[in-house]
Structure 1
Amino acid sequence: MNIWSPECKGEQFSASVIRLATGPETGDTNGIYVGWAVSPAVYGDDNAHLFTFWKGGDGSTGCYDMRCPGFVQTDKGIVLGDVYNKTSDYGGIQQVADFHITQDPVTKNWILSIGKEERQAGYWPTELFPLMAGDKGATRLSFGGITMRGIEQEESPPMGSGYKPDKDARHSAIMIQILFSGNYSEFRAPFDYETDNILDNSKCYGLNNYGQTDDYGYLIAFGGPGGPNC
């Protein structure tokens, strides 16, 4: 995914996220979220941060990054919640982040790897997620953007670059080379019949699902300016 720093204030939240989840469609009971986020309320500034969130047990436990017991850090050089000092330029140089989430076939723990070299940052123990423990796995995978406006803000924040996607991939938030695996099979791109395109408010944000492409693998583009009534 490419990294942006949309303007957020107060409790506004804007992120590009990969989500593995199990539970009712209207509210995940167990889930893992990974990507980047801008959240002054969580991080104390308006920078883009390496973002993770998990929800476990009966849905009542979990937290951001390492703010509660859960995630086990194995690489001290990778800090969940760390700042991305460089972000993408509209139409220019794109700063990117690579994420890889796998389940260890022996321990059943959920492993987070970062970068093209798949450097292992750590793992979430399988015991945190009773609905995804063992061979149950996740029932849903989601890729895209999330925004929240907060109680004190009247407008929803921008998503990604703050522009809706167009024909130039450097103009919006994108995710490329989307791959997944089931039951420890080979990684592959999704088929069209396996995907749903969900856009909550087309006035404020846009979504283009390009599917499998020659240059970028499986590609989606999303984002927008936000605003009132989003």
Structure 2
Amino acid sequence: MYKGVGATLSIYNLTVDNSQYSTGAITIQNGVDTIQVGWMDIYSGNWWLGVGPNATLIGFWPKKIFTSLAEYGSSVACGGQVYSPPGQSNPPMGSGFRPKMDTRYDAFCAYFNIVNIAHEIEPVMDVEEYSDYDTYKVKDWGVTKPMGHLVVYGGPNKP
């Protein structure tokens, strides 16, 4: 059970067609309820969004708008997502290239952490990698120095 998720994401300015999308995201989910970032306030149960190294508060989603996410998240994720209608070429994801295992070039989620049920921050454990291996790649590096728990992703170009 998770009370929050966070990471530092690299950002690239990719070009996609109007009918496509490409994003990097961190997600917390329970049942049909999903938010892309945030953590649950220990007192109100609202889900907060903070950005930057000091997690400057931007706003929140009230607890009352959720059903299954009202108490906790059951899964978390970090990485890239793309969509393209059938018949169109694959849009770029991450940096637009498959990971080279070098954070100077790879899109990444660094410091991939969860807020546990006791409201303590800890690295995500037991990560499963999901990739379209012919087109896109995701690689979990685990806990590294100096970037904490690190996940790299990208595509569709071959290395």
TM-score, normalised to structure 2, is: 0.88
Determine which of 67, 72, 76 is the counterpart of 1:137: 72
Residue 148 of structure 1: which of 80, 83, 86 is its match? 83
Per-residue deviation, residues 60-107 of structure 1 (Å, max 9, x unmatched)? xxxxxxxxxxxxxxxxxxxxxxxxxxxxxxxxxxxxxxxxx2111111
- How far the C-alpha of 1:161 sits from its partner, in A, is 1.1
Deviation at 1:203, TM superposition (A): 1.3
1:103 aligns with 2:40: yes
- Higher RCO (C-alpha 8 Å, min separation 6): 2
Matches of 2:45 and 2:103, distance apart in 1: 36
Task: Work out whether 1:213 is the aligned partner of 2:148.
Answer: no
TM-score when normalising by structure 1: 0.62
Contact 1:105/1:184 (<8 A) preserved: no
How far 1:156 sits from its partner (Å)?
A: 2.1
After TM superposition, the structure 1 = structure 2 runs for residues 1-230 of structure 1, keeping only pairs within 5 Å, are 1-23=9-31, 29-34=32-37, 101-133=38-70, 136-150=71-85, 154-191=88-125, 194-199=126-131, 201-225=132-156
Moved over 6 A (4+): none
Deviation of the 1:212 alpha carbon: 0.5
Secondary structure of the 2:64 match is helix
Structure 1 gaps, min length 5: 24-28, 35-100
Q: CA deviation at 1:145?
A: 0.4
Distance 1:16 1:214 in 2: 22
Identity among equivalent positions (%) equals: 26
Determine if contact 1:22/1:132 at 8 Å carries over to the other structure: yes
Q: How many residues align?
A: 149
Higher strand share: 2
